Amino acid sequence: MHPDVEAFHTYRQRMNELILSKQNKVINRLFNLDTNTYQDGALPAKVKEMLGLVASMVLRCDDCIKYHLGKCKELGVTTDEMYEIFAVANIVGGTIVIPHTRRAAEYWEALQQ
């Protein structure tokens, strides 16, 4: 695993454990609901992860982008498909999405290794 991918997962997991340990019911249920959102249903998980990715891009959340990039990679999204998702995000969200697209493109390369 590329060190950037590993660093992302390690920090994410450590902090999720900290947050969940406080046992705030609303937060813990939201984390649980978040996982359920991307399960196969009327739409396949792959499409849902693409939806989660484009939403994260237009809202410009780098960590959310990394998470969904990883899931998209696992579920077989190709580079051509990925850049079409990037295209929708940049057209809808405008050029302020470009710096996030740069970081997404870099992380996408890291995920190929």
Binding site for a copy of itself (CB under 8 A): 11-12, 15-16, 18-19, 22, 24-27, 29-31, 33-34, 36-38, 41-43, 47-48, 50-52, 54-64, 78-81, 83-99, 101-103, 105-106, 109
- Residue placing its CB nearer to a copy of itself in the complex, 55 or 75: 55
**Of 42, 41, 61, 38, residue with least CA distance to 50:** 38
96 phi/psi in degrees, rounded to 5: -65, -15
Q: How far apart are CA 61 and CA 38, in angstroms?
A: 18
Q: Least CB distance from residue 93 to a copy of itself, whole Å?
A: 4
Q: Least CB distance from residue 7 to a copy of itself, whole Å?
A: 13
